[in-house]
Structure 1
Amino acid sequence: MIKRCAIQWLMLGWLILPSLAFAESAVDRLNTFVQEVSQLEADFQQTVIDTDGQVVEEATGQFLLSRPGKFRWDYETPFPQQIVADGERIWFYDVDLEQITVKLQDEALAETPAGLLSGNTLPEAEYDIQELESEDDLQWVRLVPKADDNNYQTVALAFDEKGIREMLMVDSFDQRTRLVFKNLKINPDLPASRFEFKAPSGVDVVGDVP
């Protein structure tokens, strides 16, 4: 159950930017992402690291985004799960447990990295945005929540000249979640049906069911 909770992190963060000159700052690239990327598609690798520096979870899958307010995470390993936001609700489908949990999207995403991801406005009202030093040819920007009751201490994003490459989140328990993105596609004209969820027959559905 701990591992399953780790996968349902709802930190669903940032992804790719259009190709930009490397001289542009990471903050500029963040702004460009928010303003110019309406859809994207990518494969991801997720690693969760505890306070002792030990890897407690590794997962892979595919991510889709359609702004405003829609996204989809399809986890393939270590076990299949789906997280689908249709603009009104978020559907968490645990395939092995044959259970679906439904949450109202506005409530679930308030002041979370997932809310930052699916929105189309800059997060300056909720976060302090800090430019960090470059490291290993990556430019980093850090977002620090202004609210004291946020579940995350920081969200850091790494960019190269082609777009975002990594995302690192530190939660309120000092646990770190790292995302690496591959096979990125910008504005790929995703069909609306990819962000619709229909519960399979015989699966338990709980929560804010419409």
Structure 2
Amino acid sequence: MTIKNLAQGFLLLLLPVVAMADMSGTEKLDHFVKQVNTFQAHFEQTVLDPDGNLVEQAQGEFQLARPGKFRWDYNDPYPQHIVADGQNVWFYDVDLEQVTVKAQNEALEDTPATLLSGQALPEDSYNIRNLKSDDGLSWVELTPKQSGSNFQSVMLAFNKDELQQMIMRDSFDQRTRLMFSQVKINPQFKKDTFKFSAPEGIDIVGEAQQ
């Protein structure tokens, strides 16, 4: 799973600790869908092959505004920016000096990014179940109802007050783990946060939807 494909999936929930202590992972997911409108966090990402070997490590910042707007700003090991503005998804590779743009509904179709949209309930597209755990976290697993999906499952791990981890397993059994920190729930963003403007002289591949 490449960094571009990791523009896809992220969920986070922050609720009062007392209420969260008695809630299952599926209930926490349900509260996220109903309660969280904007989100900001630092993330650390690792990608493992089917044998458990490290393929890739990265880190950066993530911002979300539901429905359907988000941005991943990768800082390390090399800079990349992925911006979804509600109509288009922009992939900017700084080192390659190239921007790729795709219609958002096409780029995010059949991906965990649909969990971010806020336009449909997770249970509409996923089978959801709580997982047993011995690490003190509340784990929930989502598997796509549609056959032939390009990923097998998404697992979310909650502590008492927030989502701590997200693990995506693709159709090749490659696993991508995201760990979140420095979380802010429902922050206010500047108006141009999710607006992408290509730097002067940068090649643009694709055509933006108007």
TM bin, normalised by shorter chain, reads: over 0.9
Long gaps (5+) in structure 2: none
Counterparts in 2 of 1:147-186, with a 5 A limit? Answer: 147-186=146-185
**TM-score, normalised by the number of residues in structure 2:** 0.94
Secondary structure of 1:79's counterpart equals coil
Deviations 1:116-163 (A, max 9, x none): 123243211211001111331100000010111211100000001111
Contact 1:67 1:118 in 2 (8 A): yes
- In the alignment, does 2:4 pair up with 1:8? yes
State the alpha-carbon separation in 1 of the partners of residues 84 and 8 from structure 2: 13
State the alpha-carbon separation in 1 of the partners of residues 192 and 40 from structure 2: 15
Q: Which residue of 1 aligns with 2:29?
A: 30
Contact 2:66 2:117 in 1 (8 A): yes
Secondary structure of 1:6's counterpart equals coil
Q: Which residue of 1 aligns with 2:207?
A: 208
- In the alignment, does 2:84 pair up with 1:88? no
Contact 2:141 2:155 in 1 (8 A): yes
Task: Provide the aligned length of Structure 1 versus Structure 2.
Answer: 206
- The 1:125/1:21 distance shift into structure 2, 3 A limit, reads closer
Contact 1:155 1:168 in 2 (8 A): yes
State the alpha-carbon separation in 2 of the partners of residues 132 and 117 from structure 1: 22
Secondary structure of 2:114's counterpart equals helix
Match of 2:14 among 13, 17, 42: 17
Secondary structure of 1:181's counterpart equals strand
- Equivalent position amino acid for 1:7 in 2: I
Counterparts in 2 of 1:54-73, with a 5 A limit? Answer: 54-73=53-72
The alpha carbon displacement at 1:110 in A equals: 1.8
The alpha carbon displacement at 1:16 in A equals: 3.3
State the alpha-carbon separation in 2 of the partners of residues 126 and 118 from structure 1: 12
State the alpha-carbon separation in 1 of the partners of residues 191 and 37 from structure 2: 13
Contact 2:48 2:54 in 1 (8 A): yes
- The 1:32/1:120 distance shift into structure 2, 3 A limit, reads farther
State the alpha-carbon separation in 1 of the partners of residues 68 and 196 from structure 2: 14
State the alpha-carbon separation in 2 of the partners of residues 15 and 174 from structure 1: 24
- The 1:107/1:27 distance shift into structure 2, 3 A limit, reads same
The alpha carbon displacement at 1:111 in A equals: 2.7
Secondary structure of 1:92's counterpart equals strand
- Equivalent position amino acid for 1:165 in 2: Q
CA RMSD of superposed structures (Å) = 1.3
Contact 2:87 2:104 in 1 (8 A): yes
Q: Which residue of 1 aligns with 2:136?
A: 137
- Equivalent position amino acid for 1:83 in 2: I
State the alpha-carbon separation in 2 of the partners of residues 18 and 121 from structure 1: 21
State the alpha-carbon separation in 2 of the partners of residues 18 and 27 from structure 1: 14
